[in-house]
Structure 1
């Protein structure tokens, strides 16, 4: 036996506890990393754990029943999923042109084998197939004629000359057309095809169009014709009372005074679910400072949905920040998955996760109610669950660096913002609306990876804004861009307010998805 002093024993014990905490943290990170790579991205609670939760929450349900007064039932129409059909008519809009190819037996071969009489048609069989034609190119020549008076010419007087009025070009001195630029933009910002891939595709088709030319077209058109519309939508956005915001990283290679690997940001601001005509705007900035959001939102007063980034909490007092329950639920979900499977059932993180699931289930039931009724129902049904969650969290402790510790800290630190969605029926329980709008940019970034210059990043923000706003307003992005670029140069000559007439909410109905318009 070895005898050690009490002080040495306590020191060894403290060292052992510290090592055990580090080991637990590393095991959590390993399990989370494994799930991120190989597991499902869905945060839906597993069925085997959900069965245990029904027993775990008996006491909570009883507590909620005691707190509730009268609850008005709201019926939600059940969604019926229709079976997909293999008929070509059901996968295409009604206005798709139909090419009819008739197959007849030659008259010389239609003699009856029995009597030799010429056979007549008695019916037909139709087989319908879907034909796809790759992008085609052509040259359009706009010929502007000049007219003169031959009588005046013969009499020797000054001959009047009349010229057909020329439409202003999209880009002065360039052969770019609205259709070509719109196609390039849609391929890059909707289909996520970088310009070098488009260059390769066109070159294979015999069109020697360089990526530098395409880049110059996009930059010039975005600055000359799309930015004024973007600025007009910005002014409209600031007039709303409920907005969402988010931000993500962007690498810009050529930055003055900074390295090529410097981290820049693409910010997103958009309208809420109460907007009749949604607006989605992106803004490029070199940093994530709160001053960027404050400058962009200057003149706005109302509610701003955001995540837990502290920069939003430093905005002026006239902007009320609404927290995101989806972020809190995600943290509890990570805390569950950070544990070994045999320890997940009945764990504290699972309890916190279920509180969040109950709140989201209530919101799903209230989705079709008007804002006033939703506000009342939230106070009756959601507020008791939130109070129970906060009371439950006060009884739990966990190491600060553990996944459960981070979830509990996020809950307590964000509580003043998480509870704000109870104050107005137009508000939402999460900021998922902004994250869904940010996803197209993130998907594009995975393909084109970076912006070469700040000008390119700013142009990308403008083009993304118009395209995503068009999609939110049920417009076809390509048709909308052609509509704008075909009209903007001529409208700008005679009307100083031309940009206000080309915003997505004012586009005629024939430019919506699935519609056909012969004027493009």
Structure 2
């Protein structure tokens, strides 16, 4: 019987993975069903008990027809005026008004050559030759400007266009660029941004609260491929991007590592002291670091187990999901009111803590009444195992109830994997992590990625090393 239930659960999860919705939204069932008709039915029973005549009145609802409203075009867009006079207009006609029609138009992006001319002069007395100073260039002795480099990287890491697709776009504009040229520009740009990335890592590790998650990425490992195949192609290594998010400071750090070993977070967090929030992965437990680290759990991961158990035990799973839904309602209301972290903490202790205490008692009782290997049994066991970490978010108002915010920052990485499939090397994966870090920070700080990167590439060659934090998206100001 237990094997049958297990196979039935596996089949249900497989069907959901292939055909089902990815949403984990839970809608609680109502206590009573709404009446089918708003009017009270009148029932007349004839003498013959075999038949009953039922009559009722119902008002037909007619949805009011709404006229479509056209969205007003953005006021900041430049207007190109075009005046069309009527044909055969007689002399003496007076203008009494005008009709204005606005159309949203598009001109394809243009690529041009920036030609810098620096005249040379000979001084009559000193016999010296003087010439104007060449402005700082992103790539020394290179022929790519900051705007072009910024657009190429934004296209790849924000809009998920691999280099070979961008080559086709440039080819359509009459510009032939080789793959080696694009890769060379990419490598040179990441070398220029490396000090800013190091500055980002130092700033992030000074935060008192971090959210951490990891996401896989396929990487071409040439050492393995050359050893196994003659051509050196076809073997991919599974690496991981370790993502760190400081919600208070608005910082994001992607860090690539070839494995998912416990040694990776120990190395990154060796000097860190503070609170980290993760999922239930055991690699974060008992980290050997020099600082003091407190662990928080993720309520969304616990909720996911119960959501999957709905098909197997709807009553128990629905009860837990309803209680978790109440906790999220408390969080939503606190965000809508935009209250201070101290007030948020008091709000949680007053409303969320009683719900959590009652839920813990219920879970402990149900753990003795369910099969351990069933879906609901695994959900209860997972939740109770991490219970102290799951409820610790109520200790401080700056903590979040789950890790959803960091998972949102990983979405561009997941979309990118579907387009370029894998990274060319371990070094390339780390360079991609650098750019994902910067662009994720642009997103959460409401900064335009292209405008930020173009400005940084123009300024960073001459920028002082001790003031690099000014160029990070959370501190950056557009001076153009």
Q: TM-score range by the shorter chain?
A: 0.7 to 0.9
Q: Could you tell me how far 1:205 is from its partner in structure 2? A: 2.7
- Rounded Cα–Cα distance in structure 2 between residues aligned with 1:101 and 1:417: 65
Contact 2:137–2:146 at 8 Å: present in 1 too?
no
2:341 is matched with which residue? 371
Assess, with a 3 A threshold, how the Cα gap between structure 1 residues 364 and 88 changes in structure 2: closer, same or farther.
Answer: closer
- Give CA-to-partner distance per residue, 1:387-426, whole Å, 9 cap, x none: 1111111122333332212211111111121121121111
- CA deviation map 1:2-27 (0-9, x unaligned): xxxxxxxxxxxxxxxxxx21221111
Q: Residue 107 of structure 2 corresponds to which residue in structure 1?
A: 133
User: TM-score under structure 1 normalisation?
Assistant: 0.79
Higher helix share goes to which structure? 1
> 2:457 matched to 1:478?
no
Tell whether the 8 Å contact from 2:441 to 2:474 is kept in structure 1 after alignment.
Answer: no
| Aligned counterpart for 2:470 among listed residues 491, 501, 513 | 501
Cα deviation, residue 85, structure 1? 5.2
Deviation for aligned residue 1:444: 1.2
Q: Indicate conservation of the 8 Å contact 1:88/1:129, yes or no.
A: no
| Cα displacement (A) at 1:431 | 0.9
How far residue 365 of structure 1 moved from its aligned partner, in angstroms, is 2.1
Alignment partner, residue 317 of structure 2: 349
Match of residue 211, structure 1, among 168, 179, 185? 179
Do 1:488 and 1:498's aligned partners in 2 also have CA atoms closer than 8 Å? Answer: no
Structure 1 distance, partners of 2:161, 2:31, is 45
Alignment partner for residue 488 of structure 1, among 460, 474, 477?
460
- What is the TM-score when the length of structure 2 is the normalising length? 0.85
> Quick one: distance in 1 between partners of 2:69 and 2:452?
30
How far has the Cα of 1:35 moved from its partner? 2.0
| Structure 1: segments with no counterpart, 5+ residues | 1-19, 54-82, 112-116, 153-157, 511-518
Distance of 2:256 and 2:242 partners within structure 1: 6
Instruction: Give the match for residue 21 of structure 2.
Output: 40
Q: Which residue of 2 aligns with 1:14?
A: none
SS, match of residue 347 in structure 2? helix
Residue in 2 that maps onto 1:244: 211
Q: Following TM superposition, by how much is the alpha carbon of 1:264 offset from its aligned partner in structure 2, in angstroms?
A: 0.7
| Structure 2 partner of 1:388 | 358
- The correspondence of residues 111-510 of structure 1 with structure 2, limited to 5 A, is 111=90, 117-149=91-123, 151-152=124-125, 158-223=126-191, 225-257=192-224, 260-272=235-247, 274-275=248-249, 278-315=250-287, 316=289, 318-336=292-310, 338-339=311-312, 344=314, 347-367=315-335, 368-396=338-366, 397-489=369-461, 491-492=462-463, 495-497=464-466, 499-509=468-478
> Match for residue 56 of structure 1?
none
Alpha carbons of 1:501 and 1:144: their partners in 2 closer, same or farther (altered >3 Å)?
Answer: farther
Gapped regions of structure 2 (runs ≥ 5): 34-66, 229-234
1:86 to 70, 73, 86: 70
Deviations 1:175-233, CA, capped at 9 Å, x for gaps: 1111111111111111111111112222233221223321221122112x211111111
CA contact (8 A) 1:290 1:314 kept: no
1:263/1:169 CA distance change after superposition, 3 Å? same
**Cα–Cα, structure 1 residues 421 and 498, in superposed 2: closer, same or farther, change >3 Å?**
closer
Deviates more, 1:392-401 or 1:351-360: 392-401
Equivalent residue number for residue 61 of structure 1:
none
Contact 1:88 1:128 in 2 (8 A): no
Aligned ranges 1:39-58 → 2 under 5 Å: 39-46=20-27, 49-51=29-31
How many residues of Structure 1 are paired with residues of Structure 2 in the alignment?
433
1:244 CA displacement: 0.6
Other structure's SS at 1:320 match? strand
**Cα distance 1:22–1:41, how it changes in 2: closer, same or farther (>3 A)?**
same
In 2, distance between residues paired with 1:398 and 1:432? Answer: 29
Greater RCO, 1 or 2 (C-alpha within 8 Å, sep 6+) = 1
Q: Is the 8 A contact 2:214 2:243 kept in 1?
A: yes
Q: In the alignment, is the contact (CA less than 8 A) between 2:221 and 2:236 conserved in 1?
A: no
